[in-house]
Structure 1
């Protein structure tokens, strides 16, 4: 059970990077066929834009304090899930879940197995968060460089200068300052967490469609079978 909680904590911390990737994908789909190679003037203008939208220290600002509350909320929601919920998400038949265990939540099972579960999870998530802040902060220069190239490729010098002029105003500066913070706003994260039960209910149907779509493929071989096949092929070569 601890592994489920820790994996969720790590995934949640890494999730905050997704707005940048989604932004790149969305922008690419919207401007496909309209891009031209970026020259130095566009790169210079784009660098100014990224200074406003994604200055150094953005990830630490996103993750310190705000993400602590988000993590607590996410782990609390996960802990409230019952074995019935997990069975539905993994397409396990409901009659395979012990009745005496069905009403209990993941957190109940974890606390029964570990009397220090709550404190252990609190410490673990804080340590993981601190390490993720360090990791993501170390990546910021490369991310800023990539964003600069993306913006330079997708927008003209005039467009970038107009953005920068807007960001120089009080309203523009306020928008740029909280542009990334919106994605980790507690209200946004609460809304996302509200979708988890619906996603869990949809998972069995999704897995059935995956199985149907891959039904024409031979079943994967086990490690032992793969090793036997390799040995057999090597023997044939001799």
Structure 2
């Protein structure tokens, strides 16, 4: 079990930095379940400390600067002009990988297919699912449209967060200096390009090096994490609890003991 936890943690780190394949769910989630899931991850990026009265007083000046740096429509421009090529490749990978497609259709572990030539994988996909390429392209287009809508929707909140951050990190005098600089010709150009630069293809292409580097270091990462984890007792599964503890867990989670027993993974092991 511990190895699975380490792999999950490591994969989570890697996948948070790189595109990841989408895995099908056993059943379609309801709107209520999706809302609950959204609440569960609502604080995944942490929470910020309240601003001090002095920082609050600088919010107006900070927003003036932020509006020059991140004017309305920046996210839409970033998506359409800078991130479209990256997102096309990224979203195409959600279902476009022959190994992932074949795994879904045959049940074969994708790692088993790593030694198979790309041409043979493509031929196998064509045999099983001739419409795969067209379907994946249509799904990618739909996903890109949805992501574009979401980032545009959250843009005001992001701008507000930027203003708070500038109010914390810069004094009133510094904010005034920044605002004056962004009114100069070079300042205006920098302000207009600063956020778009981070999504420039030249920058995003360099991110291609992350996953190979992570995979190259995976053995040492696994060893280090196992050594760190070995210093602490492992977590227990439902079947390892006492009758009293099982009842308490069921009460805490609002489910029956039978549901917890049925949900416990088969063959759970606490050994490395």
2:159 corresponds in structure 1 to: 144
Instruction: Measure, in 1, the Cα distance between the counterparts of 2:225 and 2:246.
Output: 29
Report what 2:214 is aligned to: 199
1:185 aligns with 2:200: yes
**Cα shift readout 1:104-160 (whole Å, capped 9, x = no counterpart):** 359747556532222222222221121112112221222211211111121111111
Distance 1:77 1:131 in 2: 17
Q: Give the TM-score, by structure 2 length.
A: 0.59
- The alpha carbon displacement at 1:103 in A equals 3.0
- TM alignment of 1:37-186, pairs within 5 A: 37-40=54-57, 42-74=58-90, 98=112, 102-105=115-118, 108=122, 113-186=128-201
Aligned to 1:32: none
Question: Out of 210, 227, 246, which is 1:212 matched to?
Answer: 227
* Counterpart for residue 16 of structure 1: none
**Aligned residue pairs, count:** 194
SS in 2 for 1:219: coil
Q: 2:246 aligns with which of 213, 230, 238?
A: 230
CA drift of 1:179 comes to: 0.7
Q: Structure 1-normalised TM-score?
A: 0.66
Deviations 1:55-106 (A, max 9, x none): 12221111124322112344678978989xxxxxxxx9xxxx65x7613359
* Residue correspondence of structure 1 range 16-31 to structure 2 within 5 A: none
Deviation digits for residues 178-213 of structure 1, max 9, x if unmatched? 111111111111111133212221123212211211
- Matches of 1:47 and 1:205, distance apart in 2: 45
Residue pair 2:21, 2:93 contacting (<8 A) in 1 also:
no
Note if contact 1:62-1:184 (Cα within 8 Å) is conserved in structure 2.
Answer: yes
Distance change >3 Å, CA 174–CA 233, structure 1 → 2: closer
Quick one: structure 1 residues 117 and 180, their matched pair in 2 at CA, closer, same or farther if it must change by over 3 Å?
Answer: same
2:98 touches 2:125 (CA, 8 Å); kept in 1?
no
**Tell me, which stretches of 5 or more residues in structure 2 are unaligned?**
1-18, 24-44, 101-108, 251-272
Output the aligned Cα RMSD: 3.8
* Structure 1: gaps spanning 5 or more residues: 8-20, 26-34, 84-91
Q: Secondary structure at the match of 1:216?
A: coil
